Structure 1
Amino acid sequence: MKITLVRSLARSAMFELSNNTCYRAPAPYTVLLDGAEVLQGDTNVFSLFSLEPDRAYELAVTIGGETETLRFTTAKESFFVDASRYGLVADGETDNTAQLQAALSTCPAGGTVYVPAGTYRTQSLFLQSNTTLYLEKGCTLLGGTDRKKYPILPGVLPCCDEKTEHYLATWEGNPLDSFAALINIINAENVAITGEGTIDANAQNGDWYQNPKKKNIAWRPRLFFTSNAKDVVLHGVLVCNSYSWTIHPTYSENVDILNIRIRNSSHSPNTDGIDPEGCKNVNIIGNHVHVGDDCIALKSGKLFMGMKLHIPCENVVIRNCCLSRGHGGLVIGSEMSGGVKNVVVTQCLMDHTDRGLRVKTRRGRGKYAIIDGLVFRNVIMDGVFTPFVINMFYFCDPDGRSDYVQTHEALPVDEMTPKLGSLEMENITATDAQYAGCWFSGLPEQPIDRVSMRNVNISFAENAKPGQAAMMCGADASCKVGIHAENVRKIELHNVKITGYEGECLQLTNVGSFEED
């Protein structure tokens, strides 16, 4: 066993056990800090809080009779800013927005804004560079329910040269006026949010879920939003009851989302868990996500943003996460007109999500809408209806069911045509599947380049019920389909076992090269 320090902040730190298990540790363990027991755990990732800045510690983890030690030092801190000194009222009713914002805005560089235990009602807050927000255990930032008290972020900011534009707020991949998030990091760098507290958007007690696809003054806010940010850490906290997408970093670099918990009602509309959009160098490690839509969705804007900026979402690591009950475990798209590349998913547990790995795109996403370099390794799926879906006929948007999007006749490859490159799946176990084991649908004019599966075991539930594996026209309800593949240049199956299927295991149409052993 080896212990790795993933991230050390001034008052908290996160660690990871190095092994091959998915999310859960091989056995329960005990953690000692400087000789004193501080926690007992059973997951591969754990965190420590209430540490002292700029101090050396010795960590010891005992698991299965073996003990491993690690020395680490917390980061320095210039100033400690107790937000309660700014006049906070912890009754859950009084509006604390101005007081919290004052603490955040006056914190000197390198300082920590500390919010003690209590429930603090607030609207949108904006963090500045080189600061940390620490939420103490028992602290809750509770979102206000009146949308008129939330500021509106413009989708487009014009430049004085009357040519250049800056894109700020987004809604489902387009630059559209939206309410500011509860927590915002915009044009800032070296910012951290950490602690054992809670950020509760409280959306269920407002009107955010009424006519959710209709603009009401502005589009719905996110719970956590970044734009043009760099070196951002979100660590440890519980976030819940989001207005729409929960964690939404956009066009930012070096974003670490570490050991947080996300809880949204399974009935809440479009409350995705973690949606990096057009971001570079993203680490999503040790998180437990339970939401009403996709658990993790990688995006890069719709056609306008993709063609204008062509900034991909790239260099993403997703590891030791538990993804529960959402529509998809890891989803790519459908707003991915800037492309998605170099994504590695390992040691994740997907628990009763509708789909496991879900790639969704369509004609009209554009020539920069390229997905390539996806590696999906060491993953367990339990009760996932369809473990693998790659769908290039996704019927989203007002024209999603049009002949242009849905025809299976080859159309000319042009600047509107998306492309799927190499996708590798290895060491996957999926039990109690229902609709299909794999559903791969490429475009006839632009087939999926290559799908490689190695050491994959898929079994179906005995009482499986039919359903639509892929959201596309013509894909009627199916049940216990082994592998459905159309328009794929190359499929490689090495030690792939599918049990409990009905009918022909392999349903292949226009597959150029097929290897199986």
Structure 2
Amino acid sequence: MKYFFKVLFSLIVIFLVLSCKNQNESASTAPETTAGVNFDDPWKQADAIVESIKIPIFRDEVFNVLDYGASADGSKSSDDAFKKAIEACSNAGGGKVFVPAGVYHTGPIHLKSNINLHLEEGAEVKFSTSHQDYLPVVHTSYEGMEFMNYSPLIYAYKQKNIAVTGKGTFNGQAGNENWWPWSGKDVYGYKEGDVKQHDTHNLPRLSEMVEKGTPVEERIFGEGHQFRPTFFEPFECENVLIEGVTFINAPFWVMHPIKSSNITVKDVSVISHGPNNDGCNPEYSQNVHITGCLFDTGDDCIAIKSGRDNDGRRVGISSENIVVENCTMKDGHGGVVMGSEISGGVRNVYVRNNTMNSPNLDRAIRIKTNTRRGGTIENIFVKDLKVGQVKEAVLKINTHYGIYANQEGGHMPVIRNILLENVEVENGGEYGVLILGREQSPVSNVKLKNVNIKNVEVPLRVEHADDIIFENTTINGKEY
């Protein structure tokens, strides 16, 4: 009998241990919750984020590119002059690299710490159309996947206190004869039989490397491949300022701060209608302030990202503490967008006092992901938004997003805590609110407060979401 109770006691202990283990495993894999989200006044946190962002300060010394052999009439390449001026400025401890009014031709510009690249009003920097000039390859990223590729047109890698300022223009000189045809779209110069980014040796090969976990330094592309470079990419940088300048004719994404922090994008104009010409895409980045900008783009105006599929989960850095205010959005696939490269998650995004208006703007606020991307997207606050016209939806949340094949996987996205407050829409397009969640993970805690949407075909289409909270909200004259 004593032996029986001893065995019974051992079995009970084993059962309790296994039970606790299962509970711990369940808790570790359950989606993280955000308790106490304050829908009444989230804007104090937005103010605190803006106040915390450090604007870089530079030495007063000026390094004029003309003093280093630059040609302001565009008659010859100023590539060496830009490199020499940046090197001299860096060696002196930093300062301003000054580009006077005129036209300059150059290859890629690589910034270093404590340097402000300043374009005087009337200055236009035109980037080389020779792809060879963007070699050797550098550590960069394409649609949320890191690899070695052509250099971005303006690039900074692991630098601190950098800026691009002034009232001049950066011209990427991309077009239907340069960079854009690689998109594979006829409208951008692609011709049947030409090489393109979706060919087997390009995107499929890179995606396979990401899936297998191939080290980034072994993912070598560049020459012989068709991946377009970004325009301005601070990679693992701190304290970045982009102010006053204009970007046109971008090969790919325009401003792409990746794995960076303390970023200010102020009074910048992006006027670029090429393929994937997103205006500003913070990725794996924190403490970002985008203010007073104009976005007139061929893709999303602002798209917040955090890596694609296994790369996003490998890096494991969410994009967070991002404030977008006082901006104007015209053409684009979306005004302020989260995704689709969002596997690392996005949280604490504050969008206030913006204007969106164009017959070619598809959505105002958009969240896009799927079960290959996954990701947790939470705490998205929108206030004082004026929308003149959008095509598809004022708010679109889609957990079935996919433009490529095989977009289903085992990574259920979590989307919660979305607020739209003080929103006026004159022409809402096809949908007022369009939410396509998942039965296994419904979209939760969506609130519309003081929202007035006019002239929309379908006021609401909601699948797999908790009840939307309406407060003083009218769609097509009907109060909800």
Please give the TM-score of this superposition, normalised by the length of structure 2. Answer: 0.77
Q: Which residue of 2 aligns with 1:292?
A: 298
Q: Is the CA contact 1:337–1:365 (under 8 Å) kept in the aligned structure 2?
A: yes
**Residue in 1 that maps onto 2:111:** 127
The answer to whether the 8 A contact 2:182-2:228 is kept is: no
Tell me which residue corresponds to 1:28: none
Residue type at the aligned position of 1:491:
I
Q: Is the 8 A contact 1:105 1:127 kept in 2?
A: no
Note if contact 2:284-2:318 (Cα within 8 Å) is conserved in structure 1: yes
Task: Identify the residue that residue 490 of structure 1 maps to in structure 2.
Answer: 467
- Give a deviation string over 1:342-367, Cα, whole Å, max 9, x none: 0000000011211000110101114x
- Identify the structure with the greater helix proportion: 2
CA contact (8 A) 2:98 2:120 kept: yes
Opposite residue 78 of structure 2, the aligned amino acid is N
Q: Please tell me whether the aligned partners of residues 346 and 378 of structure 2 are also in contact (alpha carbons under 8 angstroms).
A: yes
> Which residue does 1:180 correspond to in 2?
151
Question: Deviation at 1:243?
Answer: 0.4
1:457 match: 452
Cα distance change of structure 1 residues 76 and 184 upon mapping to structure 2, 3 Å threshold: closer
Instruction: Give the corresponding residue for 2:169.
Output: 198
CA-CA distance at 1:452 after TM superposition = 0.4
Partner of 2:403: 396
Offset at residue 93 of structure 1 (A): 4.4
Quote the Cα distance in structure 2 between the aligned partners of 1:399 and 1:318.
33
Residues 163-183 of structure 1 deviation map (CA, whole Å, 9 limit, x = unaligned): xxxxx3111011133321111
8 A Cα contact 2:397 2:435, kept in partner: yes
Distance 1:376 1:152, change over 3 A: farther
**Which of the residues 370, 374, 384 maps onto 2:380?**
374
Q: Does 1:210 align with 2:217?
A: no
Q: Are 1:274 and 2:277 matched, yes or no?
A: no
Structure 2 residue 438 is the aligned partner of structure 1 residue 443: yes
TM-fit CA distance, 1:205: 6.4
1:146 corresponds, among 125, 130, 133, to 130
User: Structure 1 residues 148, 76: CA separation in 2 closer, same or farther (over 3 Å shift)?
Assistant: closer
Residue deviations 1:10-65 (CA, integer Å, cap 9, x gap): xxxxxxxxxxxxxxxxxxxxxxxxxxxxxxxxxxxxxxxxxxxxxxxxxxxxxxxx
- Bigger shift: residues 178-187 or 76-85: 76-85
Distance in 1, matches of 2:146 and 2:348, equals 25
Please tell me whether the aligned partners of residues 303 and 337 of structure 2 are also in contact (alpha carbons under 8 angstroms).
yes
Matched to 1:484, the amino acid is: R
Deviation, structure 1 residue 76: 6.0
Q: Corresponding residue for 1:242?
A: 250
1:349 maps to what in 2? 355
Q: Aligned-pair distance for 1:152?
A: 4.4
2:319 alignment partner, one of 304, 307, 313: 313
Once the two structures are superposed, residues 88-133 of structure 1 have per-residue CA deviations (whole angstroms, 9 ceiling, x without a partner) of 1123242211211111121022311111111101111101101111
Instruction: Name the aligned partner's letter for residue 317 of structure 2.
Output: I
Shift, 1:223, TM fit: 1.1
1:112 aligns with 2:83: no
Q: Report the Cα offset of residue 393 of structure 1.
A: 0.6
Higher relative contact order (CA 8 A, sep 6+): 2
Contact 1:124–1:151 (8 Å) recurs in 2: no
Q: 1:337 Cα deviation (Å)?
A: 0.3
CA displacement at 1:332 relative to structure 2:
0.5
**Structure 2 regions of 5+ residues with no counterpart?**
1-55, 185-195, 198-223
Which residue of structure 2 lines up, in the alignment, with residue 434 of structure 1?
Answer: 429
Q: In structure 1, what is the Cα distance between the partners aligned to 2:277 and 2:57?
A: 34
The CA distance in 2 between the partners of 1:123 and 1:93, in whole Å, is 15
Letter in 2 for 1:195: G
The 1-side partners of 2:154 and 2:285 are apart by 18
1:220 corresponding residue in structure 2: 228
Partner of 1:233: 241
Question: CA 1:393–1:152 in structure 2 vs 1: closer, same or farther (change >3 Å)?
Answer: farther
Preserved contact between residue 78 and residue 109 of structure 1 (Cα < 8 Å) = no
The gaps in structure 1 that reach 5 residues or longer are 1-73, 155-167, 406-413, 462-479, 506-515
Q: Which has the greater radius of gyration?
A: 2
CA displacement, residues 470-498 of structure 1 (integer Å, 9 cap, x when unaligned): xxxxxxxxxx0011111112310111101
1:145 maps to amino acid:
T
RMSD value, Cα: 1.7
Asked if residue 421 in structure 1 is aligned to residue 416 in structure 2, the reply is yes
Question: Displacement of 1:134 after TM fit?
Answer: 1.0
Confirm or deny: 8 A CA contact 2:182 2:227 kept in the other structure: no
Counterpart of 1:77, as a letter, is R
Q: 2:373 maps to what in 1?
A: 365
TM-score, normalised by the number of residues in structure 1: 0.72
Once residues 476 and 413 of structure 2 are traced to their aligned partners in structure 1, the CA distance between those partners, rounded to angstroms, is: 33
Q: Distance in 2 between matches of 1:127 and 1:169?
A: 15
Q: 1-side partners of 2:177 and 2:262: how far apart?
A: 33
CA distance in 1, matches of 2:298, 2:373: 25
- The answer to which of 111-120 and 169-178 deviates more is 169-178
Letter in 2 for 1:303: D
How far apart, CA to CA, are the structure 2 residues paired with 1:423 and 1:76?
39
Q: For 1:180 and 1:138, locate their aligned partners in 2 and report how far apart those are by CA, in whole Å.
A: 26
Equivalent residues of 1:382, 1:431 under 8 A apart: yes
Cα-to-partner distance string for 1:488-515 (whole Å, 9 max, x where unaligned):
1231011110117xxxx8xxxxxxxxxx
Indicate conservation of the 8 Å contact 1:390/1:442, yes or no: yes
Residue of structure 1 in register with 2:44 after alignment: none
Distance 2:136 2:362 in 1: 34
Aligned 1:26-37 pairs, distance under 5 A: none
Distance 1:177 1:111 in 2: 30
Q: Which amino acid aligns with 2:462?
A: A
